[in-house]
Amino acid sequence: MQDQPQQNRRDFLKLGALAGTATLGTLATGCFSGDRVVITTMTERDPLRTPAMKTVRIGFVGVGGMGTNHVNQLCKVPGAEIVAVCDVVPEHAKRAQDIVEKAGFKRPAAFDKGPEDYRRLCETVDCDVVYTATPWELHVPVCVAAMNAGKHAVTEVPAAYRIEDCWKLVELAEKHSRHCIMLENCCYDRVEMLFLNIIRKGLLGEVLHGECGYLHDLRGVKFSKDGEGLWRRAHATRRNGNLYPTHGIGPVANYMNINRGDQFDYLVSMSGPSRGLQLFQQDKLEKDDPRRAEQYVLGDVNLALIKTKLGKTIYLVHDTNLPRPYSRINLVQGTRGLMKDYPPEIHIEGRSPGHGWQKAEEYYAEFEHPLWRSDKVKQASGGHGGMDYLENYRLIQCLLKGEPTDMNVYDAAAWSCLCEATERSVAGRSKSVDIPDFTRGRWKSWQPLPIVEA
């Protein structure tokens, strides 16, 4: 893929002539549909908002492990109703039907006639939103089918892992005026939301630097004979970079107002040797297991350094093939202090003793995010300690009220495109790779995420 022609095409989308079509307080945008330019508008303050709904009717594609988790959570969210489920495994679809029916809703329709039956769901089911929790390869096709059918699209992470596909999601969302949301649950974790609230209160001063990542021993998952083991390991045979950046980068992007006052500019990345999966093959698999013959190119540890348009810095790491405790690092440095996770600790000038740390729990009484103070979240069970419920709750509430969603298609694209950007950099001996501006300059006027109540 050649960078320059692609960027020229995107720059052309700015089209100065569009300015004449904008009304006061709005910014016009354009996207291609065949030989036409389709005009949409959105306010300078907010990205896309759509009319309020009385009920959010959902078609759910991919109801295996994570999909079943979402089905359980959505059945608890006021205003949400799952009306159709789809999976290549009929038993999974039936299980999801049973969960919905047991929760007191009408039994949803099932679509289980093969790997592309999601298209029939998108085209025939009377629903507002199509969720997907499928393998990574299907995230973009399902979202595209949903938006082309007039539905909002909601996808598990990453939304895409090719830059061209990130652009495709952005352009279709703009063309059809439909949301395309990535379910980044870590943005809703209790510690991350505490940190966001503290930053918004100004205690950290100006945020200058973040460190984040996804460090999780997934060897057992990758070699499982069901679930993600059926597809996730294959990516390690052909890709070398950060395959899963959004759990780490999402919260830090919110701290640093990415797409809302600042923007990713470029990155450099490098990967270390590939050893972990090979050792697992030899140590754990039977001698006649055909998986012992697989060859892997994914470096066990991938590092990236990101520079923003305002000159701020982010360290991002991916490490899923080696033995280690879980971590997302989640560190943010400001001019007045520092906060980090694993364990969660805070140092704020004038509040913390000397050069020492305070436990983050000391800050909850005063700075707990309002959403985590709510009874709904406190009572949520399962779903990674409540954050899965909260991400679904917030999305449904925004759709019901007709408000801009917390995260949007521009976040989905900016965070997900880091997959290919790191791969390009690694392949080019850590060359600098420009990160596309999917907002086409609108990040300069869009406002930071507010602190919202439940």
DSSP readout, 285-346?
Answer: S-TT-GGGG------SEEEEEEEETTS-EEEEEEE-SS----B---EEEETTEEEETTTTEE
Question: Quick one: 245 and 364 in the same domain?
Answer: yes
pLDDT band for position 10 (cuts 50, 70, 90): low
Strands (E), 142-276: 152-155, 180-182, 207-215, 264-271
Q: What b-and-e string marks burial along 404-431, b requiring 16 or more CB atoms within 10 Å of the CB? A: bbbbbbbbbbbbbbbbbbbbbbbeeebe
The answer to whether the pTM exceeds 0.85 is: yes
- The length of the chain, given as a count of residues: 454
Question: Quick one: 208 and 108 in the same domain?
Answer: no
The CA distance from 358 to 389, in Å, is: 29
- Say yes or no to pLDDT of 5 above 60: no
- The CATH number for 62's domain is 3.40.50.720
The CA distance from 335 to 203, in Å, is: 9
Domain that holds residue 355: 186-372+399-444
Question: Quick one: 227 and 151 in the same domain?
Answer: no
Largest CA distance in the chain: 70
- Say yes or no to pLDDT of 384 above 90: no
Asked if residue 389 is part of any domain, the answer here is no
| 412-434: pLDDT as tens digits | 999 999 999 999 999 999 999 99
- Say yes or no to pLDDT of 352 above 60: yes
Q: What b-and-e string marks burial along 157-187, b requiring 16 or more CB atoms within 10 Å of the CB? A: bbbbbebebbbbbbbbbbbbbbbbbbbbbbb
Asked if residue 385 is part of any domain, the answer here is no
pLDDT band for position 375 (cuts 50, 70, 90): confident
Asked if residue 248 is part of any domain, the answer here is yes
Mean pLDDT of 17-40: 35
Q: State the average pLDDT for the chain.
A: 91
Question: Quick one: 27 and 61 in the same domain?
Answer: no
pLDDT band for position 60 (cuts 50, 70, 90): very high
Number of domains composing the chain: 3
The CA distance from 245 to 415, in Å, is: 7
Looking at 118, 139, 156, which one is the last position of a domain? 156
Question: Quick one: 78 and 122 in the same domain?
Answer: yes
| 430-447: pLDDT as tens digits | 999 999 999 999 999 999
The confidence score (pLDDT) of residue 45 equals 61
Mean pLDDT of 4-26: 39
Cβ-based neighbour number of residue 268 at 10 Å = 19
Looking at 156, 176, 199, which one is the last position of a domain? 156
Asked if residue 244 is part of any domain, the answer here is yes
Asked if residue 222 is part of any domain, the answer here is yes
Per-residue CA distances from 108 to 82, 121, 126, 230 (Å): 6, 11, 12, 27
pLDDT band for position 164 (cuts 50, 70, 90): very high
pLDDT band for position 44 (cuts 50, 70, 90): low
Question: Quick one: 28 and 100 in the same domain?
Answer: no
Question: Quick one: 240 and 334 in the same domain?
Answer: yes
The confidence score (pLDDT) of residue 251 equals 98
Mean pLDDT of 268-295: 98
Question: Quick one: 111 and 214 in the same domain?
Answer: no
pLDDT band for position 146 (cuts 50, 70, 90): very high
Question: Quick one: 123 and 213 in the same domain?
Answer: no
The confidence score (pLDDT) of residue 383 equals 78
Question: Quick one: 298 and 440 in the same domain?
Answer: yes
Question: Which position has the higher pLDDT, 287 or 376?
Answer: 287
Say if residue 120 is exposed, middle or buried (CB neighbours under 10 Å; 0-12, 13-18, 19+): middle
- Say yes or no to pLDDT of 88 above 50: yes
- The CATH number for 364's domain is 3.30.360.10
Question: Quick one: 16 and 74 in the same domain?
Answer: no
Task: Copy the structure tokens of residue 185.
Answer: 């649950």
Question: Which position has the higher pLDDT, 384 or 200?
Answer: 200
Asked if residue 165 is part of any domain, the answer here is no
Mean pLDDT of 17-44: 38
- Say yes or no to pLDDT of 36 above 50: no
Asked if residue 91 is part of any domain, the answer here is yes
pLDDT band for position 46 (cuts 50, 70, 90): confident
Asked if residue 111 is part of any domain, the answer here is yes
The confidence score (pLDDT) of residue 381 equals 64
| 104-139: pLDDT as tens digits | 999 999 999 999 999 999 999 999 999 999 999 999
| 293-319: pLDDT as tens digits | 999 999 999 999 999 999 999 999 999
Question: Quick one: 431 and 289 in the same domain?
Answer: yes
